[in-house]
Structure 1
């Protein structure tokens, strides 16, 4: 067959293809690349040595998303883990990484969703009566149950409807809904998750029918029903129904990745931009005898491929004959196997049916198979061999195994043996929820947009959670894991804040803030810990990018530094602390934990959201809130006429240099908001320190003193807290100025107020309880012991002291009971005597 398209496998992977601008870190130039190992799915078991084809360069192709829906936390797990490894290779080990990723914009899922959405739009445009809509929804309701929930369709019972649905659902699937399995054995998995998804759709549709809500709530059951009726009527010559969906989802995915601080690919490929090359690629495989045409489709001939000395299913040989996975790999629109030689043979090119997009080919109108797209695009960008191919673990078979087979078939040369297309296959472990893989198809997912918008995660916190687990292991996020990640982040956050505060204090002008001298030389203990951490981190990252171990190395070093910082004997020496903080800053930058950081990550601490957002703002505008807070404090102090009582306050007010200090910083080109704000914060802090000094407070009258203390507290707890500034009071030393997220400080303030309010409430409740107990005590004490038993109907006769002698039935009172009553009588007499002594007999 003559080729109608030409394909050139960009066969040549030139060094110019590497577009990474990073250079190898100076401190790692002597590192031996041969000592890096990596878990390679092509060589299961222990990590193997990582040796790229070209020294210092890595070629990498990653399977991107199928752009038919919003991305969820499972995608975040995959692409954040991929991003972490890419950053480690680039910024820690110094490789130039050329990273290619595809967008799948032709796929059965895309076709189905786009087509169904269009059919529903058309249906809603029809002039239906309410009864006609209800009839349509009811038919869809029954069809959906028959197709997806067969246990609801009991032939011995009346037809399923919205009235008997709940009862039938509980009888058929109650065990699954209560956390069990369909079989009643083992743990729930994807099968049970799918049942729950279908039941959720049926629940919404049943409610819609009960309430006569029309289409509302019934969309999920209507979509497949309408597709079964009208799919062949859709004009797919106009591919905008598909591209409108894929372009919107591609944009959403790109926005999600940017929000998660995932580096953009060096090159992006799309299936729709490669159809001619795909046709040519398939032709070449056919010509080599590794594929055959059948009824307008082209299938890969696994038997011919293996007969030529090649290996099929190298990644997952145990799944080679798994029919369920084979069918899943072919897609839900390709159930027919007509013309296939063997059931395991997979489609390279699919004949398009009515309602599906199509392109011309030598075999007629059709569309690419799922697996072929990556083979063609990766080969075009990276040539006939690449260092790394990556994707989620669920893609290993059949997608990646089929990619390998068809690519190695394309490049096969009879006289050269089996071709190696990929050297290292990296598979990211998937994210689970309640034992099932988090996926769009199961609808058991939370979108990235939703997780960030609801502030259930920040981008940094989500990345830390994933860094806590090995990239190639599955993970199910637990409360304990979230707590561990939160503690790790909080520990580093406080460390950076404290180090920056102490360095800021040491660098402050001498007129009000005491300079801290930096001792000559570094304390050996902390310096030794830093050197050990560097070696341990290199070991961890060399061991297949072991980020859990790396995170522990960082945490241990920070804890050691905190101990050193809190030791009064060494706290004045900041050189070692700064060295530790800057090294930790570099590493968290490399791991992608600071969206505002860029290589070579030479800053100090990770940037706050407010600082990052202010980075590109005019400095005068950025510092306005801080200048305004300082101005307000000055005016409030002036209103109290405090300068008459303190020469120091008068000097601070009259000789203010905050504007001049800021101007100097602005002229120097400083963009760091924290540094720009310091002149106003230091001036504010100096005034407040003077307000709360013992010497000054001792000169004030009681009323003025209370006003001054209230102002001092307000400055700390409101004026500065609302700006994200924390003042730590120190005895006989200037307050430490710390930059902390305003929302954290405000939350802490509100918690403190709640605790104080709770304390006062409990105190008041205790006071009332005491008063009530006191009232009850004296009410009881008022009764004389002679009268205390006479109102009790259990007794008939009493002696002169009022002690019962006979029960109500006339029988003598038992001796044991008489003894007990005498003890009660004695207690009451003592209490009554107290009453008489306190209130007198007239009370």
Structure 2
């Protein structure tokens, strides 16, 4: 813990020592989501990476954390989306004729193009659905083909935004062509209707905003739960803090660091710096970036005037018609974006905190403005600058095709869709663990392949280790095995000790999870190689490695079922609190009963089988359950062991039975492996030389998928075999038909020739000229071949 260093955006460069305000405790504020749309993989990157750091600080380094996250439930994006949705609902409820609606849609279509894709209308001619495609391809063909608008460099955010607008226009053009205006034209209608009617919306009723934000917040939380992201210790919402925000702003004004202008309040950067404070400490190079300043102010604040300095930013915004409002000393208005976090974080954590985190895109102006206004609020004249945040942690972007993944660019995949189609919560977290938290990540096929390989390697190691221990009859783990600790570590234990040191070095070096993941993978690969070359390996050493890796993957959040202190072995397989052990093992007990019944019906003369059929694993199960275990693997193992033993004995003695009994036994043993146990997520690994099968617990979905793949392969093999048989049969038939033709008749129907000799060999071509000698030679060879196959067929009685 004393050696921990972190990358701190306030001190760019190498990681710096992490020294919390209170020893052993960490206060942390994380910028949460603006809840106006579904969360996407970019959000997953931010919040999962934050969760990984949080878990490592808590469970590896032992810090006690106070973790606060905000929900931005009112800002320009939320206002615009909620208001536009309301206006669209109103528009859809109006009674338009088809002609009127088409005319209105074309007007919106042209307005959208003029605003978002100006090259489409630069010639001044009207644009409609009939001319759109040609103009689109002429104006933006380079972008659509994967290039840039200028034809130089690599595509980025600008090109992603163009593609997003083109997608909206494409949908609207199709809607105009087929006459079904909604929902195809929704996206082009939203800004158009807003430009016409935004000031007519009665915002005294704020339900249009809260309905949107509450539903989106619920979806966000569900996504975070699905990704095994720990819930914050405190959640704050902007709309619950508006009075406190107004008072906070008042205090900054009183101290001379802000001023009121035309009903809005702005932070006075010049006054702040004149008092000896620093502005834009995170991104000094962006201090005068007008584009970033405007983005930070929000799209609804472009026309707010009265600023003293170009970079001064809004603490309180005067609400215009069509915007929500709250009372304040400066009139009806709403909070600026940056002030929200300052007030909420300070309310929970006080005047100083250890860590503030968020996505790298928030560094300027959001976090720089947070710092300035908070330090202005807490500073005392004559005592120098106030330190509000000690460590700023910024998570790197997730990119797609060179562009930041963003809701505003609509170039994202939602977390829900990703989990439904291409990721599991574990596989997604592994991808993020394999990249440094403060670096950008571009998900590539190669990265996915590496992550999948890591997961399968670790999973197989866990599965095999548990199987070896089960085979050895070891139930209580290391307590029943002897690992001598009074000697220097050698062999696998030496590898384990080195791996521990390497992981420690990686995690103390600014939570370098990619390095830690490689250390874990290397240790497993080394162990697997060692086991191949050393048949008498002490299982205690293998188990010690598996348990240490189990602890790490638990700390990293890779096992949603595991809880601190992560002292199990492998991925946790606990049953839910609402399920009692007897109910949980019923499917396994049912398989055993079915196997016993089927084998008893065969009336086999086999004492070993008879003894196994009389075995009752219930007392063993009850002992495990009474010991408090809720691990389904341990609970079910007594039943599975008997099933496996019966099957092994049947396979060992099957050759001693008659053919009919042998066939029945093999059908049962195959069914046990491929159906009964596969459906329960249990794999029997058959081994040679009469060794007992290893019982392995593998996710049922994986086993079933492998079974279906095997069936599909066998079906494909059978199909190809049948196709080959039919093709051969056809070829043989064609050969027989050809062989039936006497050689004298072989060329008689060939229109290229006009005369033949007594053997039927052509002598004249169609034009009466002699057949060339070179061609005649070829014809005679064909005639000889036909004579041979014809005579062979005749000899076989085929004619």
8 Å Cα contact 2:575-2:630 kept in structure 1: no
Map of 2:640 onto structure 1: 681
Q: Does residue 74 of the first structure (1) align with residue 29 of the second (2)?
A: no
- Of the three residues 255, 258, 264, the one matched with 1:297 is 264
2:454: which partner in 1? 488
Partner of 1:575: 540
For residues 672-709 of structure 1, the C-alpha deviation after alignment (integer angstroms, 9 at most, x for no partner) is 1111111221121122112211xx32331101110111
Q: Note the C-alpha offset of 1:590.
A: 0.5
Equivalence map 1:540-559=2 (5 Å): 540-559=506-525
Which residue in 1 is equivalent to 2:650?
691
Out of 649, 654, 671, the residue aligned to residue 609 of structure 2 is: 649
Question: Is the Cα contact below 8 Å between 2:172 and 2:181 reproduced in 1?
Answer: no
Counterparts of 1:362-373 in structure 2, within 5 Å, are 362-373=329-340
CA RMSD of aligned residues (A): 2.2
Residues 127-182 of structure 1: per-residue CA shift (max 9 Å, x gap): 4444444444333223222222222224442x222333223322322222222222
Indicate yes or no: 2:552 matched with 1:595.
no
Equivalent residues of 1:614, 1:673 under 8 A apart: no
User: For 1:469-505, what per-residue CA distance to the aligned partner results, in whole angstroms no more than 9, with x for missing partners?
Assistant: 1111111211221111111111111111111111122
C-alpha distance in 2, partners of 1:43/1:66? 28
Q: Which moved more, 1:631-640 or 1:65-74?
A: 631-640
For the 8 Å contact 2:112–2:188, the answer to whether it is kept is: yes
Query: Residue in 2 aligned with 1:27?
Result: none
SS across alignment from 2:394: strand
Q: Distance in 2 between matches of 1:44 and 1:825?
A: 89
1:362 Cα offset (Å): 1.7
Q: Which residue of 2 aligns with 1:728?
A: 685
Instruction: Label 1:74 to 1:351 Cα distance change in 2 as closer, same or farther (>3 A).
Output: same
Q: What's 1:623 paired with?
A: 585
How far the C-alpha of 1:833 sits from its partner, in A, is 4.6
Residues 1:768 and 2:726 aligned together: yes
| 1:755 partnered with 2:721 | no
Aligned-residue offset at 1:246: 1.6
For 1:802 and 1:122, the matched residues in 2 are separated by: 90
Separation (CA, whole Å) in 1 of partners of 2:302 and 2:227: 38
CA displacement 1:72-93 (0-9 Å, x = unmatched): 1110000000111111111111
Q: Post-superposition shift, 1:539?
A: 1.1
Q: Give the alignment's TM-score, normalised by structure 1.
A: 0.90
Displacement, 1:588? 0.2
Match of 2:59 in 1: 91
1:428 maps to what in 2? 395
Query: What secondary structure sits across from 1:432 in the alignment?
Result: strand
Aligned to 1:779: 737
Q: How many residues were matched structurally? A: 791
Residues 615 and 672 in structure 1, CA contact (< 8 A), matched pair in contact too: no
**Cα shift at 1:337:** 4.2
Question: How far apart are 1:785 and its partner, in Å?
Answer: 4.4
Residue 627 of structure 2 corresponds to 668
**Residue 287 of structure 2 corresponds to residue 320 of structure 1:** yes
Structure 2 contact 5–509 (Cα < 8 Å) conserved? yes
Match of 1:273 in 2: 240
Which residue pairs with 2:111 in the alignment?
143
The correspondence of residues 391-410 of structure 1 with structure 2, limited to 5 A, is 391-410=358-377
Q: Which whole-Å deviations, capped at 9, do the CAs of 1:194-216 have from their partners, x for residues lacking one? A: 12212222222223333332433
Contact 2:246-2:328 within 8 A present in 1 as well:
yes
Q: 1:57 aligns with which of 7, 25, 40?
A: 25
Q: 2:575–2:632: 8 Å Cα contact kept in structure 1?
A: no
In 1: Cα distance, 2:202 partner to 2:768 partner: 103
Structure 2 unpaired stretches of 5+? none
Shift of 1:550: 0.9
Q: Are the counterparts in 2 of residues 73 and 446 from structure 1 also a CA contact under 8 Å?
A: yes
Q: Distance in 2 between matches of 1:518 and 1:37?
A: 38
Would the aligned equivalents of 2:8 and 2:392 in 1 still touch at CA under 8 Å?
yes
Note closer, same or farther for the CA distance 1:305–1:520 as it changes in structure 2 (3 Å cut). closer
Query: Where in structure 2 are the equivalents of 1:446-485 lying within 5 Å?
Result: 446-452=413-419, 454-485=420-451
SS at match of 2:553: helix
Q: Distance in 2 between matches of 1:519 and 1:328?
A: 64
**In structure 1, how many angstroms separate the alpha carbons of the residues matched to 2:99 and 2:772?**
83
Deviations 1:99-121 (A, max 9, x none): 11111112111111122222223
**Deviations 1:261-296 (Å, cap 9, x if unpaired)?**
111112222212222222222222222322221111
Indicate conservation of the 8 Å contact 2:88/2:190, yes or no: yes
8 A contact 2:575–2:584 mirrored in 1:
no
> Of 183, 188, 199, which aligns to 2:155?
188
| Corresponding residue SS for 2:566 | coil
- Compared CA separation, residues 130 and 782, structure 1 to 2 (3 A): closer
CA 1:518 to 1:302, structure 2 compared with 1: closer, same or farther past 3 Å? Answer: closer
Which residue, 690, 701, 704 being the options, matches 2:658?
701
1:242 matched to 2:199? The reply is no
Q: 1:839 to 1:614 in 2, by over 3 A?
A: farther
> Which whole-Å deviations, capped at 9, do the CAs of 1:39-78 have from their partners, x for residues lacking one?
2222222222322233222221111001111111110000
**What is the alpha-carbon distance in structure 2 between the residues aligned to residue 835 and residue 432 of structure 1?**
71
How many angstroms apart in 2 are the aligned matches of 1:823 and 1:241? 91
Cα distance, 1:752 vs structure 2: 0.9
Where does residue 513 of structure 1 map in the other structure?
Answer: none
CA contact (8 A) 2:575 2:631 kept: no
Separation in 1, partners of 2:795, 2:20: 98
Greater CA drift, 489-498 or 520-529: 520-529
Residues 1:497 and 2:463 aligned together: yes
Query: 1:787: Cα distance to partner?
Result: 4.4
In 2, Cα distance between the equivalents of 1:156 and 1:581? 71
Contact 1:565-1:577 at 8 Å conserved across structures? no
Q: Which residue of 2 aligns with 1:10?
A: none
Distance in 1, Cα, partners of 2:369 & 2:23: 29
The 1-side partners of 2:491 and 2:375 are apart by 56
Whole-angstrom distance in 2 between the partners of 1:753 and 1:673 = 29
Give the whole-Å Cα distance in 1 for the aligned partners of 2:769 and 2:194: 91
Distance 1:367 1:424 in 2: 29
Helix, strand or coil at the partner of 1:100: strand
Q: 1:613 to 1:136 in 2, by over 3 A?
A: farther
* Secondary structure class of the residue paired with 2:656: coil
In structure 1, what is the Cα distance between the partners aligned to 2:417 and 2:430? 18
Corresponding residue to 1:717 among 674, 690, 696:
674
What secondary structure, in the 3-state scheme, does the structure 1 residue paired with 2:260 have? strand
Unaligned runs of 5+ in 1: 1-31, 510-516
* 8 Å contact from structure 1 (residues 614, 622) kept in 2: no
CA distance in 2, matches of 1:520, 1:462: 37
Q: What's the CA shift for 1:537?
A: 0.8
Three-state SS of the structure 2 residue aligned to 1:105 is coil
1:174 to 135, 141, 144: 141
CA distance in 1, matches of 2:763, 2:213: 96
> d(CA) in 1 for partners of 2:370 and 2:177?
49
**TM-superposition CA deviations, 1:193-247 (whole Å, max 9, x none):** 1122122222222233333324332222222222222222222222222222222
